[in-house]
Chain A
Amino acid sequence: MAATAEIQRNPSETTDADEFSLFQHFLAVDLNSDSDSAEPSSADQYRGWEELVHRKILGVDEQNQAIYRPSPRSSSEVRKEPSSTGKLVEWEGVVESVMSDKFDARLTAIKGSDVDFDEFTSFEVARVPQDDHDLIHPGALFRLVVGYQALGGTRQQYSRLTFRRLPAWNQNAIDEAQLKFKQIVNNIEWSDEVTSSG
């Protein structure tokens, strides 16, 4: 069974932590370099380079018969990077209509809220990143998150409106949706049908 769990490396284990720092160092110094000197110019150099790539980049340590994956971030990096806390409210929004500078939307709470009915509101188009403006059209889906994020040792309130870049509808999905719709319609018990049969 192939594992798909996150591999979290413990920096207190020196092997992994060392490998991680070497991985970072090698990438920064050699692979991102534009200079030609990083390129191997002889067969020996090439073999050495290949071995280095295998060991430091791909994490294949043939000598110890071990494979090290590129590590997720270390603990200190985790502390420095922004991260959502548990305190957040998230809504799924559907664009209802679009005007020149704003759009109307229907919001349904997804998490962090006890509100179980849809809410209607307007957003300024300027609130959406410029590059996503072409995604704003009736029926488009977006997510609105209001919450706190941890950044270093502090936390700050944030609100984020993200338009979803969804895959195109394919024929299978359309067929499945139509089938579901037919099933729902067929399962409806019409009141006049019940009356007439009774």
Chain B
Amino acid sequence: MQVEIERSHWSIVLVGSFNPTIFNPSWLELHDVVSKDVAAMAETEIVHNQISSMTLSDIRITVEADRFQVETKIAPEIRLLDLVSKVFGDILPHSKITGFGINKSAHFRTQTAEKRIELGRGLAPLYIWGEFGERIAASEGDLVGGLMSLRLREIKNDVESNGHLEARIEPSNALDPKTGILVSVNRHFDLKDLTEKDGARRAMIKLDKEFVNAIAESDKIIAHIAEMVS
């Protein structure tokens, strides 16, 4: 039986220098990044010189002095790219952005707890761990132990950037403590040979070029893991 993705999450994280105080719903509406209705219904959690956090419809924005994050759980995720491109392509092109990440994560569950344990044992064989592994292998029922988190990274450098594709797999309590699985994929880019005058321009060009591919790569990894437990 095919395992279905039950929850999805997408985000873009920019690394650089940002001024959190300027980010608020009215400012975003003023620059036509969001509609008037969305700005009016926005929930602003905090606007401070070190951090700003707000939720605009189903998109959440968190800005810190060195980090800008935009995330959603509702498709279409292309809205994240549009928002970031508009803010840093049109409005704040002089912001310094040195790198960025494109993230996708998904929650799904196995049909049985045994199936999830089988996946964990396959990804992290217990015999490697000596006595510790033997004790985990002998555990059962509510005391059964196993893999808690695994990260696998592929280095991906190109002419314009150094980066990586990293996948993380963990149990997902959000769905079910015994059968839930979370797979989270990060495609990270560190831009090479940046100069002061580059601002956000090079990051935006690269982000625009890579966003769809990065999400497709992430979906492929997630689908592969989901297929393994089907």
* Contacts from A to B (Cβ < 8 Å): 1-6, 8, 10-12, 27, 31, 53, 57-58, 69-70, 72, 75, 78-79, 81-88, 90, 129-132, 143, 145, 147, 149-150, 160, 162, 164-168, 170, 172
The answer, yes or no, to whether B73 is at the interface (CB within 8 Å) is yes
| A86 contact from B4, B34, B105, B172, Cβ within 8 A | B4
How many inter-chain contacts with C-beta < 8 Å in the A-B complex?
144
The 6 closest A-B pairs by CB, nearest first: A4-B101, A86-B5, A131-B35, A5-B186, A167-B89, A4-B13
Q: How far is the CB of B194 from chain A (nearest CB, A)?
A: 13
The answer, yes or no, to whether B198 is at the interface (CB within 8 Å) is no
Are B13 and A145 interface neighbours, CB within 8 A? Answer: no
Given contacts A83-B7, A83-B9, A129 and B37 within 8 Å (CB-CB): yes
* Contacts from B to A (Cβ < 8 Å): 4-9, 11, 13-15, 32-38, 45-46, 48, 50-51, 53, 58, 62, 64, 66, 71, 73-76, 78-79, 82-83, 85-86, 89-90, 98-101, 103, 105-108, 162, 166, 168, 170, 172-175, 182, 184, 186, 188, 190, 201, 204, 226
Q: How far is the CB of A28 from chain B (nearest CB, A)?
A: 9
Given contacts A131-B35, A165-B33, A4 and B99 within 8 Å (CB-CB): yes
Are B75 and A88 interface neighbours, CB within 8 A? Answer: yes
- In the complex, what residues of B have CB within 8 A of residue A145's CB? 75-76
Given contacts A83-B8, A83-B9, A1 and B103 within 8 Å (CB-CB): no
Are B184 and A6 interface neighbours, CB within 8 A? Answer: yes
CA distance A50 to B98 in the complex (A): 30
Closest to A87 in B: B4
- Apart from A85-B7, A150-B7: 12 A-B pairs, beta carbons within 8 A: A11-B173, A12-B173, A70-B53, A82-B73, A84-B7, A84-B74, A90-B75, A90-B76, A131-B36, A132-B35, A149-B74, A165-B33
